[in-house]
């Protein structure tokens, strides 16, 4: 590198003929790389929409029954999306119940209480958790968590929504904790000092000042984590099974203890089952995919907006 | 914003005495929650490791032997470093970790040479490129100011070297290969693989010590270590070529690291650690052999790593999936990283902030942040629709898998690169401009080298994410079981996570608890090594700033 930069600095001050063109070409090239990301979004939208239209073009399918009916049985031509949505929502809610308390508590500890040494151990450890692939989480849920919960006396099936949801919850803990911690660390120290000046204890400063001040950032981390839970695929495919059951509000635990097919699991099933490339079952995955994309994209957008607000406030 | 939330007119301390129990409970509750998540995963991982290695199936004597020769010395040294010499502790784990990381890297390279790039092809490629580079360098010496001429020479030379002119002029690569006598495979690797690594190590040492002699010694050490394969290889039962590929990156990295630590003169006693570990393992093996202690019946063993999938659990192996994962990774590195880094450079260095284009740039930024959160299964559908249905690139090939996962990690690469570039102080840029440098020269000579460590860290983390992605692979039809290793980037390929999913659908206990655990450990070892490397790199890099 040193030799290279040496010659470059020699030539820098010399003639600039032709350099304008080179510079412009490079700029254009770099710009097209950045613009590619917009192209990716557009092609996701276009391909999904195009094939969703194909899906609704089949005789067996119509939009109204897709949105209103409660049976998802592609084999017998019934495409009611509600069982999938209800299983997805179940997973999201239960995983949020696991991840939000743990994640927020971890964030408060890391940003307010932890000594530098403690932080230097806990933070990388949580980050390494975030680096474990989801297929491994799915395996842990299927092979260890479900048998443990059954041994503890819960009447769970081999495939069940409960252990899948708990695992999704553990998966998104690092996401909640690291993003919330960023938000809490961004709260200016002057606010904390003001609290101490008023005679507040550390507990009062944490819960009364830091958390309310960081609330938009914390909130945006929740939304992002929930969006991740909605789109999570491997854990639910491996541990939640493929039966399509509509959530039964009268027997919530029974619904949790039995198998359920989420939207993502239905997509995977549509492509890995022996459905041929031209059947409505195959195309159903595009319709679900579009729904999923729209939901998660909206949630991410919302989360970004909320997070951007608190960032502006302190600058 | 913050003050609205607290009650106005109320003193925090107005209760007279302050109650500390709530605060303590809260603190310990928060710590407990953090620890709970980590503890749960630790327990899970212990179970996986126990299932994969089954250490308790070994003779008690075997366990005792290795506790005595490996575990106790390790713990003792660790305690010493912790109490007396923290700097040596850092040296110790780096000196042990570096060979492991480089060993994994060498393993990937070896798979590549074995299945995709035969030695002859590689040799022709490297020699042809080396000739072009030498020509360009010579031109730089003779006519330092003719940059346009040099660009033409570089581009034209590369094309002539690798492709040639069809029908008129064979490529330089083929000319090299048609030479009457070619060296043997081992010598080819010594020349085109070990020599560049040795040169790099030598150059690094020479620069650090400002001594040509030290540089030459470093170069010689690496070359000799690699060349030893000719002698040791046949004795140890490995091909000399394999030895060259495995040893030169490890020794090269070690030489550079040892030199740096010795130069800084701090924590040199840390080098005792890897020596003790290796010696302990050798001694333990010897004692166990002598006393006839049986080792544990591990699922994760050599047969598992080199075998193909089988319907009987004992014979099942992961090799083709491992090769597939390496191929997919290479496609990702070649396709997603240049684009991602280029996009980040544009957004940070070139993008205007106002006007119509400025608004479009803002849109791009928001879009990238959102793309990072789109479910991976949706990217799988995109890959299926575009690369397979539209472009007909073949179901489940390494290129399609690489492109699809590449698109998935593109936003992550861009965001982390942007952060790295942003951390380069503006004074450096201004200094470069003050020398009369253009924007691109500033980016190339100042910004990119300065932010390289940060970019590197981000890309390793992104790669780690990429190895574990499974859902997109399912969507683009990566086969559940592969018995034959892929031979090119265009053949159908397996992948480690896909293979793990297949094993999870088997009901047999041996598969569920044995083979599956072994597969998961293989994947985790690769991945956690990468992630830990990235995190260590980042912490160092942040400290040095």
Tens of pLDDT, residues A74-114: 777 778 888 888 889 989 999 999 999 999 999 999 888 88
Q: What residues of B are in contact with residue A299 (Cβ under 8 Å)?
A: 373
For residues B238 and A175, which has the higher predicted lDDT (pLDDT)? A175
Predicted pLDDT of residue A8: 44
Residue B278, pLDDT > 70, answer: yes
CA distance B317 to chain A (A): 18
Residue A169, pLDDT > 90, answer: yes
Interchain pair B145, A26: CB under 8 A:
no
Q: What residues of A are in contact with residue B377 (Cβ under 8 Å)?
A: 231, 233, 264, 267-268, 289, 292
State the residue for tokens 């993003």: A179
Residue B370, pLDDT > 60, answer: yes
Interchain pair B384, A271: CB under 8 A:
yes
CA distance A68 to chain B (A): 24
Residues in chain A: 315
Predicted complex ipTM: 0.86
Q: What residues of A are in contact with residue B369 (Cβ under 8 Å)?
A: 300, 304
- What are the φ/ψ torsions at residue A72 (nearest 5 degrees)? -115, 95
Residue of B nearest to A51 (CA): B385
For residues B312 and A313, which has the higher predicted lDDT (pLDDT)? B312
Interchain pair B1, A213: CB under 8 A:
yes
Predicted pLDDT of residue A101: 92
Mean pLDDT of chain A: 83
Nearest to A102 among B33, B439, B528 (CB): B33
Q: What residues of B are in contact with residue A293 (Cβ under 8 Å)?
A: 374-375, 378
Interchain pair B339, A33: CB under 8 A:
yes
Q: What residues of B are in contact with residue A43 (Cβ under 8 Å)?
A: 382, 386
Label residue B124 exposed, middle or buried (CB < 10 Å: 0-12, 13-18, 19+): buried
Q: Which residues contact B544 (CB under 8 A, 6 or more apart)?
A: none
Residue of A nearest to B151 (CA): A22
Interchain pair B504, A173: CB under 8 A:
no
Predicted pLDDT of residue A11: 46
Tens of pLDDT, residues B453-504: 888 888 888 888 888 888 899 888 888 777 777 777 887 888 889 888 888 8
Mean pLDDT to the nearest integer, A178-182: 89
State the residue for tokens 């793309």: B371
Q: Which residues contact A88 (CB under 8 A, 6 or more apart)?
A: A230, A262, A263, A264
Q: What residues of A are in contact with residue B535 (Cβ under 8 Å)?
A: 124, 127-128
By the 8 A CB rule, do B515 and B318 touch?
A: no
A contact test, residue of B26, B329, B337, B462 with most A CBs within 10 A = B26
Q: How far is the C-alpha of B295 from the C-alpha of B286, rounded, in Å? A: 12
Tell me the sheet residues that pair with B397.
B492
Give residue A9's pLDDT band: very low, low, confident or very high (50, 70, 90): very low
Interchain pair B504, A143: CB under 8 A:
yes
Q: What residues of B are in contact with residue A285 (Cβ under 8 Å)?
A: 381
Give residue B96's pLDDT band: very low, low, confident or very high (50, 70, 90): confident
Interchain pair A125, B513: CB under 8 A:
no
Nearest to B416 by CA among B362, B457, B449: B457
Q: What residues of A are in contact with residue B418 (Cβ under 8 Å)?
A: none
By the 8 A CB rule, do A219 and A304 touch?
A: no
By the 8 A CB rule, do B143 and A14 touch?
A: no
Residue of A nearest to B499 (CA): A135
Q: What residues of B are in contact with residue A283 (Cβ under 8 Å)?
A: none
Residue A2, pLDDT > 50, answer: no
| Angle at which helices B448-468 and B516-544 cross, to 10° | 160
Q: What residues of B are in contact with residue A7 (Cβ under 8 Å)?
A: 140, 144
Q: Which residues contact A54 (CB under 8 A, 6 or more apart)?
A: A283, A286
Interchain pair A201, B140: CB under 8 A:
no
Interchain pair B474, A272: CB under 8 A:
yes
Interchain pair A286, B477: CB under 8 A:
no
Nearest to B435 among A12, A131, A300 (CB): A12
Q: What residues of A are in contact with residue B467 (Cβ under 8 Å)?
A: 133
Q: What residues of B are in contact with residue A14 (Cβ under 8 Å)?
A: 145
Interchain pair B33, A106: CB under 8 A:
yes
Interchain pair A131, B464: CB under 8 A:
yes
For residues A173 and B294, which has the higher predicted lDDT (pLDDT)? A173
Nearest to B38 by CA among A128, A17, A179, A43: A128
Residue B406, pLDDT > 90, answer: yes
Q: In chain A, what are the helix, strand and coil shares in percent, each to the nearest 5? A: 75, 0, 20
Enter the tokens of residue A201. Answer: 């204890």
Predicted pLDDT of residue A13: 46
Nearest to B2 among A35, A139, A212 (CB): A212
Give residue A17's pLDDT band: very low, low, confident or very high (50, 70, 90): very low
Mean pLDDT to the nearest integer, A57-73: 78
Q: Please give the model's pTM, rounded to 2 decimal places.
A: 0.85
Distance between first and last Cα of chain B: 34
Mean pLDDT to the nearest integer, B407-416: 92
Mean pLDDT to the nearest integer, B244-267: 86
Interchain pair A133, B437: CB under 8 A:
no
Give residue A255's pLDDT band: very low, low, confident or very high (50, 70, 90): confident
Predicted pLDDT of residue B16: 53
Count the alpha carbons within 13 Å of B256 in the hemisphere toward its beta carbon: 18
Label residue A205 exposed, middle or buried (CB < 10 Å: 0-12, 13-18, 19+): buried
Element (H, E) at A133: none
CA distance A35 to chain B (A): 7
Give residue B545's pLDDT band: very low, low, confident or very high (50, 70, 90): low
Nearest to A304 among B339, B366, B532 (CB): B366
Q: How far is the C-alpha of B306 from the C-alpha of A65, rounded, in Å? A: 51
Give how far the C-alpha of residue B539 lies from the chain's centroid of Cα atoms, to the nearest Å: 17
Interchain pair A202, B27: CB under 8 A:
yes
Predicted pLDDT of residue B339: 92
Residue A3, pLDDT > 60, answer: no
Give the range among A4-13, B71-80, B222-231, B260-269 with minimum mean pLDDT: A4-13
Interchain pair B374, A47: CB under 8 A:
no
Name the most confidently modeled range: A197-206, A211-220, B95-104, B404-413: B404-413
């Amino acid at each position: 590198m040193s030799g290279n930069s040496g010659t470059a600095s020699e030539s820098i001050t010399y003639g600039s003929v032709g350099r304008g063109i080179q510079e412009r070409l490079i700029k254009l090239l770099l710009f097209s790389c950045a613009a590619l990301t917009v192209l990716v979004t557009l092609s996701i939208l276009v391909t999904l929409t195009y094939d969703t239209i194909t899906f609704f073009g089949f005789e067996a399918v119509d939009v109204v029954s897709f949105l209103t009916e409660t049976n998802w049985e592609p084999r017998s031509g019934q495409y009611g999306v509600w069982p999938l949505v209800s299983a997805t929502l179940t997973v999201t809610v239960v995983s949020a119940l696991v991840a939000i308390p743990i994640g927020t508590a971890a964030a408060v500890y890391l940003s307010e209480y932890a000594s530098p040494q403690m932080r230097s151990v806990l933070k990388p450890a949580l980050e390494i958790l975030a680096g474990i692939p989801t297929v491994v989480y799915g395996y842990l849920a299927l092979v260890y968590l479900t048998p443990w919960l059954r041994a503890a006396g819960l009447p769970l099936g081999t495939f069940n929504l409960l252990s899948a949801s708990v695992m999704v919850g553990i998966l998104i803990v690092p996401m909640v904790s690291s993003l919330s911690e960023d938000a809490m660390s961004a709260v200016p120290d002057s606010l904390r000092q003001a609290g101490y000046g008023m005679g507040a204890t550390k507990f009062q400063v944490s819960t009364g000042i830091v958390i309310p001040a960081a609330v938009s950032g914390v909130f945006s981390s929740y939304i992002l984590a929930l969006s991740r839970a909605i789109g999570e695929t491997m854990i639910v495919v491996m541990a939640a099974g493929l039966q399509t059951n509509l959530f039964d509000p009268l027997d919530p635990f029974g619904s949790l203890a039995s198998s359920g097919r989420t939207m993502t699991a239905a997509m995977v099933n549509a492509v890995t089952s022996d459905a041929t490339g031209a059947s409505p079952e195959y195309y159903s995955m595009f319709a679900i995919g579009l729904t999923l994309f729209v939901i998660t994209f909206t949630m991410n957008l919302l989360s970004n907006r909320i997070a951007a607000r608190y960032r502006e406030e302190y600058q | 914003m913050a003050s609205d939330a607290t009650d106005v007119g109320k003193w925090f301390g107005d209760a007279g005495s302050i109650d500390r129990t709530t605060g303590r409970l809260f603190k310990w509750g928060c710590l407990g929650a953090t620890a709970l998540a980590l503890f749960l995963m630790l327990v899970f991982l212990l179970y996986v490791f126990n299932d994969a290695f089954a250490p308790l199936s070994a003779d008690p004597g075997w366990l005792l032997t290795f506790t005595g020769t490996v575990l106790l010395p390790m713990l003792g040294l660790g305690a010493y470093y912790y109490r007396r010499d923290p700097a040596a502790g850092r040296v110790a784990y780096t000196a042990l970790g570096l060979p492991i990381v480089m060993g994994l890297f060498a393993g990937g390279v070896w798979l590549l040479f074995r299945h995709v790039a035969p030695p002859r092809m590689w040799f022709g490629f490297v020699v042809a490129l080396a000739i072009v580079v030498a020509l360009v360098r010579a031109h730089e010496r003779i006519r330092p100011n003719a940059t346009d001429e040099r660009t033409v020479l570089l581009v034209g030379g590369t094309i002539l070297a690798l492709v040639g002119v069809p029908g008129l002029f064979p490529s330089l690569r083929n000319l090299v290969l048609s030479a009457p006598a070619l060296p043997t495979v081992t010598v080819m690797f010594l020349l085109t693989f070990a020599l560049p690594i040795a040169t790099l190590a030598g150059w690094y040492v020479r620069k650090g010590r400002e001594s040509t002699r030290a540089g030459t010694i470093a170069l010689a050490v690496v070359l000799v270590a690699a060349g030893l394969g000719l002698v040791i290889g046949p004795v140890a039962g490995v091909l000399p070529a394999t030895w060259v590929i495995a040893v030169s990156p490890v020794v090269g990295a070690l030489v550079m690291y040892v030199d740096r630590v010795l130069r800084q003169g701090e924590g040199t006693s840390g080098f005792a650690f890897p020596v003790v570990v290796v010696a302990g393992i050798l001694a333990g093996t010897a004692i166990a052999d002598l006393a006839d202690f049986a080792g544990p019946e591990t699922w994760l063993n050599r047969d598992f790593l080199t075998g193909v999938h089988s319907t009987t659990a004992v014979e099942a192996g992961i090799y083709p999936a491992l090769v597939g994962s390496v191929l997919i990774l290479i496609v990702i590195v070649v396709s997603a990283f240049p684009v991602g880094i280029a996009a980040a450079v544009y957004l940070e260095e070139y993008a205007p902030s106002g006007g119509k284009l400025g608004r479009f740039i803002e849109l791009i930024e928001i879009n990238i942040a959102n793309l990072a959160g789109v479910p991976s299964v949706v990217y799988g559908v995109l890959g299926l629709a575009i690369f397979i249905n539209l472009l007909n690139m073949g179901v489940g090939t390494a290129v399609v898998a690489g492109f699809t996962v590449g698109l998935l990690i593109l936003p992550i690469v861009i965001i982390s690169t942007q952060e790295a570039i942003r951390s380069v102080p503006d004074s450096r840029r201004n200094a470069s401009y003050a020398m009369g440098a253009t924007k691109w020269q500033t980016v190339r000579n100042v910004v990119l080298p300065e932010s390289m460590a940060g970019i590197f860290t981000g890309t390793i983390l992104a790669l780690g994410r990429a190895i574990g992605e499974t859902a997109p692979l399912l969507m683009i039809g990566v086969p559940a079981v592969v018995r034959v290793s892929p031979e090119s980037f265009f053949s159908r390929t397996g992948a480690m996570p896909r293979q793990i999913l297949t094993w999870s659908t088997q009901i047999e206990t041996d598969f569920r608890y044995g083979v599956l655990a072994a597969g998961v450990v293989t994947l985790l070892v690769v991945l956690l090594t990468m992630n830990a490397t990235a995190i260590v790199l980042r912490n160092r890099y942040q400290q040095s700033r």
